[in-house]
């Protein structure tokens, strides 16, 4: 007893993805004298060193793709039986949280939170079928439900979505405020001349992010405007195939692959337009950040309307016509003035991280108050 309440977060790894970025934004801004975050992961991640520096502990077990279904479940059961001191487990694996929270339930861990960050499962038919099987365990295993949007709640908790609380993907808006000086500095670092038109994207190189369309759109855009640059931040399994496609189109001098960055707030300063052609998403943190930087955003019409903060920056475009994407981007070429905004917009719409962190502190403590009870039903706790 004594010391902060320790909450165990579960993720495959703590790399710089959307869910992981939200967790770290919360972690940095939460009162760590009251709440501490520990992590159960399967692989090393970019945020591991920072987690340790903030006082967090990282546990690791092998992932299902490495050891198979039965060994993975055995590892989960063993871990939770050995670490039953936790009263709160907060899982971020979408449908795969079913296996995690079922193991936590067997170990009599009273508060078991399932957090939906998306609106669809990734992978092929077999992978999605397996995730569906895991997701069936959520109804009996989770005690609390959280989602980044109502759509995400309906997807992961179809029967109980009304009991889910929507937690917005908050950010520190002060880090993203536009600066002309920073824009010059970053463009110089990236070797981009002042008169070039720069579009950018931040995201993992995976099927859902739809980089193929992005490259096709940029190829058409570049024919119209030779002084154009595409910046791609991130990494992932499809990166090499996208690089190959860029070379095939002879665009390698105008497409910059800058890898995983820990200074996205600086990179956004160098851009003129943010482009996001995903097939589906939850509520992408990167689009919240882009709006905080005052960037016009040309995005897929498959993304939830909740992402639009009414700053006149979001343009929804259908995925079936690259020409429309080019036209929408070209409309921004003549826009010189970066948008300014009132930071209260983010606060009022629930995207201010300091407010979100305070809400989560209250939420965890309310969960912990009932942790001595036998929880068989979902608990409706205010966030």
Per-residue pLDDT tens over the stretch 129-140: 888 889 899 999
Alpha carbon distance 251, 116 (integer Å): 37
Percent of the chain with pLDDT over 90: 83
Q: Are residues 316 and 244 in the same domain?
A: yes
Region 21-46: mean pLDDT is: 96
Of 21, 22, 19, 59, nearest to 38 (Cα)? Answer: 59
Number of domains in the chain: 2
Q: Is 136 helix (H, G, I), strand (E, B) or coil?
A: coil
Token pair 């996208």: residue: 242
pLDDT tens string 328-372: 999 887 665 676 777 788 999 989 999 999 999 999 999 988 765
DSSP type of residue 199: E
Q: Are residues 147 and 184 in the same domain?
A: no
Region 3-12: mean pLDDT is: 96
In a domain, 102, yes or no: yes
pLDDT score recorded for residue 314: 95
Whether the CB-CB separation of 165 and 360 falls below 8 Å is answered with: no
Which tokens go with 154?
């309906």
292-320 residues labelled b (16+ CB within 10 A) or e (exposed): bbbbbbbbbebbbebbbbebebbbebeee
As to burial, measured by CB atoms within 10 angstroms (0-12 exposed, 13-18 middle, 19+ buried), residue 249 is: middle
How much is the mean pLDDT over the chain?
92
pLDDT tens string 177-210: 999 999 999 999 999 999 999 999 999 999 999 9
Of 307, 298, 305, 287, nearest to 335 (Cα)? Answer: 298
Q: Are residues 295 and 322 in the same domain?
A: yes
In a domain, 378, yes or no: no
Q: Which domain holds residue 193?
A: 174-344
Q: Are residues 326 and 365 in the same domain?
A: no
Q: Are residues 156 and 182 in the same domain?
A: no
Q: Are residues 165 and 179 in the same domain?
A: no
Residue 149 CB contacts under 8 Å (≥ 6 apart), including other chains: 119, 166, 282, 283, 304, 306
Q: Are residues 163 and 194 in the same domain?
A: no
In a domain, 375, yes or no: no
pLDDT score recorded for residue 382: 46
In a domain, 242, yes or no: yes
pLDDT score recorded for residue 122: 81
Q: Is 141 helix (H, G, I), strand (E, B) or coil?
A: helix
Q: Are residues 207 and 132 in the same domain?
A: no
In a domain, 109, yes or no: yes
Q: Are residues 19 and 152 in the same domain?
A: yes
pLDDT score recorded for residue 380: 47
pLDDT score recorded for residue 371: 64
Alpha carbon distance 158, 67 (integer Å): 30
In a domain, 124, yes or no: yes
13-43 residues labelled b (16+ CB within 10 A) or e (exposed): bbbbbbbbbbbbbbbebbeeeebbbbbbbbe
Alpha carbon distance 57, 175 (integer Å): 27
Q: Are residues 212 and 248 in the same domain?
A: yes
* CATH number of the domain enclosing 82: 3.40.50.2000
pLDDT band at 383 (very low <50, low <70, confident <90, very high): very low
Q: Are residues 310 and 166 in the same domain?
A: no
Alpha carbon distance 92, 70 (integer Å): 21
CA distances from 99 to 12, 66, 133 (A): 13, 16, 9
Of 82, 83, 138, nearest to 113 (Cα)? Answer: 138
In a domain, 285, yes or no: yes
Q: Residue 99's CB: how many other CB atoms inside 10 A?
A: 24
Alpha carbon distance 147, 114 (integer Å): 8
In a domain, 244, yes or no: yes
Q: Are residues 178 and 243 in the same domain?
A: yes
């Amino acid at each position: 007893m004594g010391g902060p309440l320790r909450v165990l977060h579960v993720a495959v790894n703590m790399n710089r993805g959307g869910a992981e970025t939200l967790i770290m934004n919360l972690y940095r801004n939460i009162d760590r004298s009251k709440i501490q975050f520990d992590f159960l992961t399967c692989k090393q991640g970019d945020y591991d060193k920072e987690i340790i520096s903030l006082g967090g502990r990282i546990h690791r077990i092998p992932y299902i793709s490495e050891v198979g279904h039965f060994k993975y479940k055995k590892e989960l059961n063993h871990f939770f039986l050995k670490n039953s001191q936790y009263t709160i487990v907060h899982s971020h694996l979408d449908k795969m949280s079913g296996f995690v929270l079922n193991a936590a339930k067997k170990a009599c861990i009273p508060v078991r939170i399932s957090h939906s960050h998306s609106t669809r499962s990734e992978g092929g038919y077999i992978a999605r079928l397996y995730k569906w099987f895991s997701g069936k365990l959520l109804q009996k295993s989770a005690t609390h439900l959280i989602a980044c949007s109502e759509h995400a709640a309906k997807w992961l908790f179809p029967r109980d979505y009304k009991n889910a609380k929507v937690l917005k993907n908050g950010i520190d808006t002060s880090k993203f405020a536009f600066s002309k000086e920073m824009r010059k500095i970053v463009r110089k670092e990236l070797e981009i001349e002042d008169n070039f038109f720069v579009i950018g994207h931040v995201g993992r190189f995976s099927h859902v992010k739809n980089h193929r369309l992005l490259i096709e759109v940029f190829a058409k855009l570049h024919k119209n405007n030779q002084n154009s640059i595409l910046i791609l931040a991130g990494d992932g399994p499809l990166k090499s195939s996208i690089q190959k496609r860029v070379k095939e189109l002879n665009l390698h001098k105008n497409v910059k692959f800058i890898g995983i960055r820990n200074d996205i707030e600086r990179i956004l300063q160098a851009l003129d337009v943010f482009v996001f052609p995903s097939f589906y998403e939850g509520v992408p943190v990167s689009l919240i950040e882009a709006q905080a930087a005052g960037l016009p955003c040309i995005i897929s019409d498959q993304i939830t309307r909740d992402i639009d903060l009414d700053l006149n920056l979001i343009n929804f475009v259908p995925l079936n016509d690259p020409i429309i994407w080019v036209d929408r981007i070209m409309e921004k070429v003549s826009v010189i003035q970066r948008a300014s905004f009132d930071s209260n917009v983010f606060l009022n719409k629930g995207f201010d991280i300091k407010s979100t962190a305070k809400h989560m502190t209250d939420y965890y403590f309310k969960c912990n108050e009932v942790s001595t009870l036998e929880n068989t039903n979902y608990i409706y706790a205010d966030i």
